[in-house]
């Protein structure tokens, strides 16, 4: 995939629709998505959660998969849950709570 692949922007946009139900913000704004790529029409998403053992893990992972599949030209989604670097509140977008 090339950096100019329009599906990459579409993937980021789609991921911003996945809401962490406990916090009420999307996973991109929260800083939970660390990396995205598209290779051979498969979206690869590296992400974390706010805490290990987060009860929303399945909901968020399923949301990532659904969001990725909503991108035209993406035929599959692979997720990688990582804990390094550990998520912290400073990763939340600075404008997240502006009204």
User: pLDDT tens-digit profile of 85-95?
Assistant: 999 999 999 88
CATH of domain 6-89: 3.30.300.130
User: What pLDDT score was predicted for residue 97?
Assistant: 75
pTM of the model: 0.91
- The pLDDT tens digits of the residues spanning 24-82 come to 999 999 999 999 999 999 999 999 999 999 999 999 999 999 999 999 999 999 999 99
Distance CA 91, CA 44 (A): 21
pLDDT surpasses 70 at 2: no
Q: How far is CA 35 from CA 8, 20, 43, 72, in A?
A: 11, 18, 10, 19
Cβ 60 vs Cβ 67: under 8 Å: no
Would you kindly state where each structural domain of the chain is located, as residue ranges? 6-89
């Amino acid at each position: 995939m090339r950096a100019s692949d329009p599906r990459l922007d579409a993937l980021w946009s789609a991921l911003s629709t996945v809401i962490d139900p406990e916090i009420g913000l999307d996973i991109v704004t929260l800083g939970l998505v660390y990396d995205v790529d598209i290779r051979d029409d498969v979206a690869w998403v590296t992400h974390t959660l706010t805490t290990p053992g987060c009860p929303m893990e399945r909901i968020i992972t399923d949301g990532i998969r659904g969001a990725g599949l909503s991108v035209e030209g993406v035929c599959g989604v692979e997720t990688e849950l990582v804990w390094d670097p550990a998520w912290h509140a400073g990763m939340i977008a600075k404008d997240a709570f502006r009204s």
